[in-house]
Structure 1
Amino acid sequence: MRILLPPSETKRDGGADAPLALEALSFPTLTTAREQTLAALGELSLDGEAMKLALKLGPRQDAEVDRNRVLQSAPTMAAIDRYTGVLFDALDAPSLDAAAREFACRTVVVHSALLGLVGALDPVPAYRLSHDSKLPGLRLKAHWRGPIAHVLDDEAGLIIDLRSEGYAELGPAPVRPGSVYVRVVSIDGTGRKRALNHFNKQAKGRFTRAVLEGRPELDTLDELLDWADTEGLSMRLGEDRSPTLPREAELVA
């Protein structure tokens, strides 16, 4: 089983681990693509104003530029501890016990625009780059789509895709019975559904924490739905939109 998480714009500073070492990251087939994004971001870092424009940074976000300039020598920490924001605050990875973190190491993957797919406990630095950022000579969607899709195609078992659509487009999950894209919805008193924004991220974080604390061994979509029901989580199959897209499940918040 793999749980795919989006990253977040916000990240914790600092870290106690050594600087970024690509050989320490999961999914080594992505190493060349990682080297290329690091080189392109390094080139962009030579011009602070150009970087602000490319990364859509405001006048008070000079610290983000500084992060990118030193990211290859900066300290690292586990990916699920590095990211903050609504989803990761709800997940609250630093408070997980050792067994839950070990389960995260085996199951959780974060999709970084800079490094591609990284394991939950992979050591990563603080950086600023989004799925829609513009790098010199490199289009992130074209750059990552093929390599990440190949990695996910090779993954056996259930894939639970909690990424935003922007990141899912940077590396689509395979279309097969054991692959599901999760949408968070709310249902009002009339039965009408609507998609959520802030609470979408919060629900995904809480869902991921529930999986890590429960540590279920899930191999199929049916097993996922059954497990969610036993945990008091409202999850159901969504509409089958297209045979060329992964099956959708709706998590009701």
Structure 2
Amino acid sequence: MTVLLPPSETKREGGDTSRTLDLRALSFPELADERAAVITAARSVSSEESSARTALKLGPKSIAERFRNLELDTSGTMPAIERYTGVLYDPLGAQTADDSTRSWWFDHVVVQSAMFGPIGAGDPIPAYRLSHDSRLGNLRLASLWPAVSSRVLDERADGLVLDLRSEGYRQLGPVPGSVAPRVVSVDGSGRRRALNHWNKTAKGRLVALLARTGAVVVTMDELVDWAAANGVVVERSDSGWDLVAESLEPVTV
């Protein structure tokens, strides 16, 4: 099983300064050239406040984040699963998770980064500022990443690929045959509605529970069985698969 996650705009600061960025130490080292090209372009637009504001969509309170892109080679790193914060990642509790939980993430989770392409959950990365829709001059992320990302993700796929990425990041690395469940809320009458922002919380809780239980899942049927055994509702719908948010209570990992 491979679980695909989007990155997060918000990132934890700091990291291990004795281990700086090494593109070939990341998962999928064959993407080193593409990664270097994106880093070069990101540095270029980040070098001036005016260009960074437009290219990276930075406001007055976030403009200092441009400096992250100028310090990628020298700033400290930490595992990707710890670097990202926010609505999806906070439910993971990655900084306090036990070794077996972290090992599951490292083995099964891939994050679709705009800066680095697909990376493993345990890959050491610095803080950076770049989104799927950032503008990098003549370099278009939507042209650079999809083909190469799809290739390496397809080569890695072993059984079920559970795609929990947002649409913008899904487009940076389409995976034919993957399952992208819709996160829904069910009201008292049984009517379902798709969640937008808060669907990330449910996804984070799902990935936390998968890791905490050491889930062994190869097919969608096995995921449904695992879900039922753990009180999670995953069901077929007219559009594919639904994940019922209310069935995912906060978990401690």
What TM-score, normalized to structure 2? 0.92
Please say if residues 162 and 183 of structure 1, whose CA atoms lie closer than 8 Å, have aligned partners that are also in contact. no
Report the counterpart of residue 11 of structure 2 in structure 1: 11
Letter in 1 for 2:225: D
Letter in 1 for 2:14: G
Distance in 1 separating the partners of 2:220 and 2:30? 27
Report the counterpart of residue 243 of structure 2 in structure 1: 251
Please say if residues 152 and 174 of structure 1, whose CA atoms lie closer than 8 Å, have aligned partners that are also in contact. no
Q: How does 1:1-253 map to 2 (within 5 A)?
A: 1-17=1-17, 18-154=19-155, 155-175=157-177, 179-240=178-239, 248-253=240-245
Distance in 2 separating the partners of 1:238 and 1:52? 42
CA deviations 1:58-78 (Å, max 9, x no partner) are 012122111111122111000
CA deviations 1:4-43 (Å, max 9, x no partner) are 1111000000001511100110012221211111111111
Q: Could you say what the CA RMSD is over the residues aligned between the two structures, in angstroms?
A: 1.2
Letter in 2 for 1:3: V
Secondary structure at the residue paired with 2:89? helix
Deviation at 1:142, TM superposition (A): 1.2
Please say if residues 39 and 69 of structure 2, whose CA atoms lie closer than 8 Å, have aligned partners that are also in contact. no
Distance in 2 separating the partners of 1:138 and 1:10? 23
What TM-score, normalized to structure 1? 0.92
Secondary structure at the residue paired with 1:16? coil
Secondary structure at the residue paired with 1:150? helix
Letter in 1 for 2:175: A
Aligned-pair identity (%): 50
Deviation at 1:196, TM superposition (A): 1.1
Letter in 1 for 2:126: P
Distance in 1 separating the partners of 2:181 and 2:34? 27
Letter in 2 for 1:152: L
Distance in 1 separating the partners of 2:232 and 2:126? 34
Distance in 2 separating the partners of 1:36 and 1:194? 41
Q: How many residues end up aligned between the 2 structures?
A: 243
Deviation at 1:238, TM superposition (A): 3.1
Distance in 2 separating the partners of 1:187 and 1:197? 14
5+ residue gaps in structure 2?
A: 246-253
Distance in 1 separating the partners of 2:101 and 2:159? 20
5+ residue gaps in structure 1?
A: 241-247
Distance in 1 separating the partners of 2:237 and 2:115? 31
Deviation at 1:169, TM superposition (A): 0.8
Please say if residues 186 and 195 of structure 1, whose CA atoms lie closer than 8 Å, have aligned partners that are also in contact. yes
Distance in 2 separating the partners of 1:16 and 1:127? 15
Deviates more, 1:124-133 or 1:197-206: 197-206
CA deviations 1:79-138 (Å, max 9, x no partner) are 000000011011111121001111111101111100011111100000010111111111
